[in-house]
Amino acid sequence: MLGKLGLSAIPFSEPIPLITSIIVILVALGVLGLITAKGWWPYLWREWITSVDHKRIGIMYCLLGVVMLIRGFADAIMMRTHQAMAIDAPGYLPPEHYNQIFTAHGTIMILFGAMPLVLGFMNFLVPLQLGVRDVAFPTFNSVGFWLTASGALLVNISLFVGEFARTGWLPYPPLSETTYTPGVGVDYYLWAVQISGVGTLITGINIVTTVLKMRCRGMSYLRMPVFCWTSLASCLLIVAAFPVLTATLAMLTLDRYLDFHYFTHTAGGNPMMFVNLVWAWGHPEVYILVLPAFGIFSEIFSTFSGKPLFGYRSMVAATLFICVVSLMVWLHHFFTMGAGAAVNTFFGISSSIIAVGTGVKVYNWIFTMYGGRVRFEVPMLWSMGFIFTFVIGGLTGVLLAVPPADFLVHNSMFLVAHFHNVIVGGVVFAIFAGMEFWFPKAFGFRLHEGWGKAAFWCAFIGFWVTFTPFYVLGLLGMTRRLQHINFPEWSPWLYLSVVGIAILILGVIAQVMQLVVSIRDRERLRDVTGDLWDGRSLEWATPSPPPFFNFAVLPDVEGEEAYWGIKLRAVETQQLAPEPDYRPIEMPVNSPVGICTAFFAAVFGFAMVWYIWWLAIVALVAAFAGFVVFAWRDVHEFEVPVREVARVDRARRAAREALLERMSRHGALP
Amino acid sequence: MDCLQVVKSAPARARMGRGLSLGRGLVLAFAGLGLAACSGGVLDPLGPVGEGDAEILINATVIMLVIVVPTILMAFWIAWRYRASNTRAEYLPYWSYSGRVEAVVWSIPILTILFIGGVIWIGSHRLDPFRPLESDVPPIEVQVVSLDWKWLFIYPEQGIAAVNQLVVPAGTPVRFSITSASVFNAFFVPRLGSMIYAMPGMVSQLHLQADDPGEMWGISAQFSGDGFSDMNFQVRSLAAADFEAWVGGTRGAGPVLDQAAYAGLTHQSARVPPSTFRAVDPRLFEAVATQAHPPGPGPQPGGAPHAGREATTGGKD
Amino acid sequence: MSDGGSPAMGDNGSPAVGDGGLPASVEALRRVREDPHRLGHRPHGPREVVAGAGHGATGPANKRVIVGYGFWIFLLSDIIVFSCFFAAFAVQRGATAGGPAVAQIVDLNRVAFETAALLLSSYTCMLSFAATDARNRLWTQLFLLATGVLGLGFLLLELQEFAELAGQGITPQRSGMLTSFFGLVGLHGVHVAAGLLWLATMMAQVQLKGFRPEIIHRLMCFNLFWHALDIVWIGIFTIVYLMGSGA
């Protein structure tokens, strides 16, 4: 009846996961209880859970990402402290637990932390920047988000029911085959990643279609903000690469569940095929994350320098260049598997060629500041921290792309330092910068600056104190994923790294404090203008937060930096454009299909992990039935009456009038 | 320019040592990491392969630093020069395109990568692990099998074998044939250079050489399960006479590595102390590589069954 | 301060791209950003702007274009999934592990019938959409039904093939080659089965709801899906069966 599931799946004898589980469950119950007690459920259900508004979904994506970043960071703290305590000693985590920790850390940080955050930014910003009201498929957007949330839920359930994979975040066979890893850990991994991967694919298709087919009038390709370009490139990579992951994991699933021989080491299976396939997804995945990050920095450098982005077309070209070349470099993840000199040379050179694209971008950001009026607000601090960190990360990345150098430091702590350098320095810094930058747009008040600066400095210094020792350790010959360390001479560096993580903890606390303080002081920090940073793209033309229909009348774009042109004209003529002729607006109705599908997907995944076949079938049928019910509905859209549209837009115009007056008085614009 | 000297330093090994320490000094100066004390690591090579790898690592670093350091300095200088409070700096609110700057911006990375591409091309071919080393001394053969969680070294010419202990004659090229009897591992002796994967059903080749006698250690550099942390092994490079003595001593004592003994080795165990076999089945390696001998059985259920939580002995036996 | 909402041209609705008469500030903005090639300053696409096509000059595309476009992208991603399974077959086709080779498991007669059924079903599917275009419910349903019957026939033939092979002990567990063979052919079969489920749902919708715009969009997507499965099958037929039988 319950398949493999039994009471022994709960880790009663292991205090660390048990206590963690109890705390997590208590916190979750507390939150749910609070919501129930306050009677917030109807509001949450109506306004958030069933919402198909791209901004709401974007915010929920970011929330999920932040929670998962904290979860992954907790894993990181455990790994650092454990390794420091496991030098010629057992440490406090036995191997079967420690191995789950680093696997979960990688999986969660990449797939459930960084990915949702990046997708959240795209969701929130792309329609606003393109001057349209929603993404191409609003309901599917909701399905995509909730599927990602289901995957995250499954990963976290594995914490207290059963175990997570112990194979590393990419489960290389034969280790991940049932012969060597018979437990449910890899199955949890497979179903969680598979389900969230489908969600990601849906979002990718959605954004590609939105960018290519849903731009406001006059928004030709070369007038789009660079963030839209990088989102497009990133989502094209999602569409090209995530199916590869889906196929690869499906093959591994067949191997594990039905004794197929795709990747087994016996009966003609081919483990190398897994390595090739998974990196054919895995390397583009890195660029899926980092390209939107580049877009975020492009917006920030331009806005805070008070200048258009330097070399816009170069930026677009470099983005597309990276997008294409990133599909041709996957083999550099296993130069040491002995592919031969010619193959290694090809992939070594193709990998370093990517640095041309990123190099061009870095120079363009620098020249964007040239001749500008650079304001060192918090987003700009993160951006400068990014330039420093990412350039060093790029340097070590090119080193790893040189096969003979890779022969020495492949899989070493040097490698670990490198990819944290680019992913933390590139993606995570971008996420924090972007949060500071667009938080006022999303919520109507800005974040507290002092705490923001504290968070930046702690993160920046903490990062370097944590990861510089990794470079040294890698050169000393320390490989990654060691549960205990047999070489006491490495201990100073491991201890130093713990100091770094302590500073990073302070950074996380500062981030949380920033949020708390900002919510407390929200009236003082309120952004009444909608154009807090003197922005240049269309999202700043909306009030903060934007109405659910974004634009009362879709804008008509006349050049690059659409909003900047509008602003210039308003200042020049000392008046806003005449009030438009308001019309009623059709908006899609909310739908519970996303949360329902995701719920059944989670049930299906859980049932498959534990071999509860009947439940899996029930869940599948229910999910299909949910879709049919959805397809049967008669009302797809509702009409926002003219009166409401006019009311919202007149309030916005009033705020803009005031801003215009103030700016004219100060002569703020060139 | 010191760095150019490093880049140009010829492969001749006598000079390479100098180039190496010079480059290392540069890395030190730039990064201030205090690597001079890093004995035993990849920057302390004991053989030609390790030296070649390390030289390329350092040369590539220096080439990149030549670009990266000015770039970072320029970024911070420009950001500071054009800070909003500095009203003396000119304000060019619409300066966003300059063909000349763009040309430079594209050429710098392209030229750097062309240069690095050359390093990659030459390095990949010169240091291809499959390529035999040039030497007057005939190479010796060592067959390597990675097991759950130990290393087996077979000396087919000498007819002996060792577990978790690799002994090589100094100044002699060693030809390693590497396979795995269970999951992926990577065979790596940091001071000798180039690692290569050990993969089931496949045989990888690797050529290494230790120039001088010395004691080192090797590791697995690919995660292989619960006992992975203890997959390190002693490496001793001995003078020719000492090596012969070691071979003789090994032949004289210890058990024989036959099918039964090998089957015992395939079971999971960690922290296995180094040991030797006085004789070995000459077809053993081929049988392992072609999987005529069944691969390691993986974890065996023992103790109370745990739903979903597999029994393990990893690392704690 | 913006008129973010208001079209610069007011209500006259004329597309404002590339025409003169812009305020001086916008012209200035343009001039400084120009490069010699004037990329992006022309309206995208043909000279005459096509409303609803989604080109930059005319605003968001209409729903039909958006749905079709999105579905095309989905199909591309699905074809990438198939290409991975094709790749696996290419890698493993020699990995028979002592078991039967490809030539020994291929029965070209049955495959010919399967192929004929599927190609014919694609044809009837296309006819059904022609009927949909003419808003003829009866013929739409009849042709959809024919598509479904042919698809079901294909599926049954495939199941028969699998059952026969399994009866001889030829199962995916036997060898790497058989794994990738059953994986690839089976994946296509699963797609066909899902397509049949979709088809049945669509027929019910057409019957009960009639030709509403969103239903026509779904029929269009179904058509694309069905044709895509056909194309994939041609790949399987060629690479697995035809080339296999000769090997």
SS (H, E, C) A453-502: HHHHHHHHHHHHHHHHHHHHHHHCCCECCCCCECCHHHHHHHHHHHHHHH
Helix H or strand E encompassing B145: strand B140-147
B99 lies within 8 A of chain C by CB:
yes
Tokens of C191: 């797609």
Task: Tally Cβ neighbours within 10 Å of residue A661.
Answer: 12
pLDDT for the residue numbered B307:
38
Helix H or strand E encompassing B216: strand B214-220
Residue of A100, A186, A370 to mutate for B, most B C-beta atoms under 10 A: A370
Question: Is residue B20 over pLDDT 80?
Answer: no
pLDDT-based confidence at residue C3 (cuts at 50, 70, 90): very low
**Higher pLDDT residue, B94 or A275?**
A275
Question: Is residue A254 over pLDDT 60?
Answer: yes
What average pLDDT does chain A have? 91
A269 to chain C, minimum CA–CA distance in Å? 5
Residues of chain A neighbouring C57 (CB-CB closer than 8 A)? 217-218, 220
pLDDT-based confidence at residue A493 (cuts at 50, 70, 90): very high
Q: Using CB atoms, which chains have 3+ pairs under 8 A with B?
A: A, C
| Burial zone of C45 (CB within 10 Å; 0-12 exposed, 13-18 middle, 19+ buried) | middle
Tokens of A639: 């009409």
Residues of chain B neighbouring C32 (CB-CB closer than 8 A)? 94-97
Q: Which of C45, C61, C77 is the last residue of a domain?
A: C61
Q: Is A391 in contact with B71 (Cβ distance < 8 A)?
A: yes
Residue count of chain C, please give it.
247
pLDDT digits (tens, 9 = 90+) for A534-555: 899 999 999 989 999 999 999 8
Residues C41 and C72 in one domain: no
Question: Is residue A377 over pLDDT 70?
Answer: yes
* pLDDT mean over C104-123: 91
pLDDT for the residue numbered A24:
87
- Minimum Cα–Cα distance from B95: chain C residue: C32
* pLDDT mean over C137-151: 94
Q: Using CB atoms, which chains have 3+ pairs under 8 A with A?
A: B, C
pLDDT for the residue numbered A514:
95
Residues C82 and C157 in one domain: yes
Rounded Cα distance between A359 and A314, Å, is: 11
Q: Which amino acid does the sequence have at B91? A: Y
pLDDT for the residue numbered A2:
79
Note whether C25 and A564 are within 8 A (CB).
no
pLDDT for the residue numbered B269:
86
pLDDT for the residue numbered B237:
93
Rounded Cα distance between A244 and C34, Å, is: 41
Neighbouring residues of A88: CB distance < 8 A, sequence distance ≥ 6:
A484, A485, A486, A488
Number of separate domains in chain C: 2
Size of interface A-C (CB pairs under 8 A): 256
Residues C205 and C122 in one domain: yes
Question: Is residue A79 over pLDDT 60?
Answer: yes
Tokens of A555: 């804008």
Q: Which amino acid does the sequence have at A162? A: G
pLDDT for the residue numbered B30:
44
Question: Is residue A433 over pLDDT 50?
Answer: yes
pLDDT digits (tens, 9 = 90+) for C190-204: 999 999 999 999 999
Question: Is residue A407 over pLDDT 50?
Answer: yes
Residues C134 and C161 in one domain: yes
pLDDT digits (tens, 9 = 90+) for B114-136: 999 999 999 999 999 988 998 89
C153 to chain B, minimum CA–CA distance in Å? 42
Tokens of B127: 């240091």
Distances (CA, A) of A666 to A297, A567, A670, B201: 28, 15, 11, 75
Residues C8 and C40 in one domain: yes
pLDDT-based confidence at residue C61 (cuts at 50, 70, 90): confident
pLDDT for the residue numbered B302:
57
pTM equals: 0.90
Phi, psi of B235 (to 5 degrees): -125, 125
What is the separation, in whole angstroms, between the first and last Cα of chain B? Answer: 56
pLDDT for the residue numbered A669:
53
Note whether B42 and B216 are within 8 A (CB).
no
Rounded Cα distance between C155 and C188, Å, is: 10
C22 to chain B, minimum CA–CA distance in Å? 18
Domains of chain B plus CATH, in order, are 2-126 (1.10.287.90), 140-289 (2.60.40.420)
pLDDT for the residue numbered B260:
87
Q: Which of C23, C45, C61 is the last residue of a domain?
A: C61
Query: For residue A593, which of A198, A157, A147, A209 has the smallest C-alpha distance?
Result: A147
Range scoring the smallest mean pLDDT among A313-317, A339-343, A480-484, C42-46: C42-46
Identify any residues that bridge with B234 across adjacent strands, giving them in sequence order: B165, B217
Residues of chain C neighbouring B95 (CB-CB closer than 8 A)? 32
Q: Is A371 in contact with B95 (Cβ distance < 8 A)?
A: yes
Residue of B94, B95, B100, B101 to mutate for C, most C C-beta atoms under 10 A: B94
A311 to chain C, minimum CA–CA distance in Å? 9
Contacts with C, B 55-94, CB within 8 Å = 94
Note whether B37 and B78 are within 8 A (CB).
no
* pLDDT mean over A192-198: 95
Strand pairing category for B160-163 and B275-277: antiparallel
| Burial zone of A237 (CB within 10 Å; 0-12 exposed, 13-18 middle, 19+ buried) | buried
pLDDT for the residue numbered B270:
86
Residues C172 and C128 in one domain: yes
Residues C56 and C99 in one domain: no
C177 to chain B, minimum CA–CA distance in Å? 16
Residues C127 and C48 in one domain: no
**Higher pLDDT residue, A273 or B31?**
A273
Rounded Cα distance between A329 and A346, Å, is: 9
Q: What is the DSSP letter of B294?
A: P
pLDDT digits (tens, 9 = 90+) for A285-313: 999 999 999 999 999 999 999 989 998 98
Distances (CA, A) of C203 to A273, B15, C155, C221: 42, 80, 19, 14
Longest dimension (CA), chain B: 86
Q: Which of C61, C81, C99 is the last residue of a domain?
A: C61
Rounded Cα distance between C1 and C10, Å, is: 17
Give the SS3 label for residue A163.
Answer: coil
Residue A479 is nearest to which of B219, B291, B299, comparing CB atoms? B219
Residue A408 is nearest to which of B31, B53, B199, comparing CB atoms? B53
* pLDDT mean over B84-93: 88
Strand pairing category for B140-147 and B173-180: parallel
pLDDT for the residue numbered A648:
92
pLDDT-based confidence at residue C30 (cuts at 50, 70, 90): low
**How many distinct helices (H) and strands (E) make up chain C?**
8, 0
Q: Which amino acid does the sequence have at B309? A: R
What b/e readout covers A407-430, taking b as 16+ CB neighbours within 10 angstroms? bbbbbbbbbbbbbbbbbbbbbbbb
* pLDDT mean over B217-239: 91
Domain that holds residue C31: 1-61
Residues C57 and C87 in one domain: no
Residues of chain C neighbouring A565 (CB-CB closer than 8 A)? 25-26, 29
Residue ranges in A131-224 assigned as alpha helix (H): 138-160, 185-213
Neighbouring residues of A108: CB distance < 8 A, sequence distance ≥ 6:
A68, A71, A72, A75, A152, A155
Contacts with B, C 117-156, CB within 8 Å = none
Phi, psi of A339 (to 5 degrees): -75, -15
C97 to chain A, minimum CA–CA distance in Å? 5
Whichever domain contains C235, its CATH number is: 1.20.120.80
Tokens of A652: 């916005």
Distances (CA, A) of A193 to A71, A189, A327: 17, 6, 21
What b/e readout covers A48-79, taking b as 16+ CB neighbours within 10 angstroms? bbbbbbbbbbbbbbbebbbebbebbbbbbbbb
* pLDDT mean over A478-502: 92
**Higher pLDDT residue, C13 or A478?**
A478
pLDDT-based confidence at residue B95 (cuts at 50, 70, 90): confident
pLDDT digits (tens, 9 = 90+) for A152-185: 999 999 888 888 989 999 999 899 988 888 889 9
Helix H or strand E encompassing C163: helix C137-167
Q: What is the DSSP letter of C6?
A: S
* pLDDT mean over A640-657: 92
The residue to which tokens 């320490």 are assigned: B21
Question: Is residue B303 over pLDDT 80?
Answer: no
Question: Is residue C214 over pLDDT 60?
Answer: yes
Longest dimension (CA), chain C: 82
Note whether C150 and C124 are within 8 A (CB).
yes
Size of interface B-C (CB pairs under 8 A): 13
Residues C129 and C31 in one domain: no
pLDDT for the residue numbered B198:
93
A324 to chain B, minimum CA–CA distance in Å? 17
Instruction: Quote the percentage of chain A above a pLDDT of 70.
Output: 99
| Burial zone of A144 (CB within 10 Å; 0-12 exposed, 13-18 middle, 19+ buried) | buried
Tokens of A471: 């470079």
pLDDT for the residue numbered C51:
66
Residues C53 and C86 in one domain: no
Question: Is residue A662 over pLDDT 50?
Answer: yes
Range scoring the smallest mean pLDDT among A59-73, A294-308, A570-584, B186-200: A570-584
Query: For residue A270, which of C106, C104, C96, B150 has the smallest C-alpha distance?
Result: C96
Residue ranges in B235-290 assigned as alpha helix (H): 240-252, 259-266, 284-289
ipTM value for the complex: 0.92
* pLDDT mean over A384-388: 95
* pLDDT mean over B194-199: 92
- Minimum Cα–Cα distance from B111: chain A residue: A356
Rounded Cα distance between A348 and A358, Å, is: 16
Q: Is A407 in contact with B64 (Cβ distance < 8 A)?
A: no
Rounded Cα distance between B285 and B199, Å, is: 13
- Minimum Cα–Cα distance from A537: chain C residue: C4
What is the separation, in whole angstroms, between the first and last Cα of chain A? Answer: 73
| Residue-wise DSSP of B160-215 | EEEESEEEEETTSEEEEEEEESSS-EEEEETTTEEEEEE-BT--EEEEEE-SS-EE
Q: What is the DSSP letter of A309?
A: P
C24 lies within 8 A of chain B by CB:
no
Residues of chain B neighbouring C35 (CB-CB closer than 8 A)? 97, 99
Residues C105 and C199 in one domain: yes
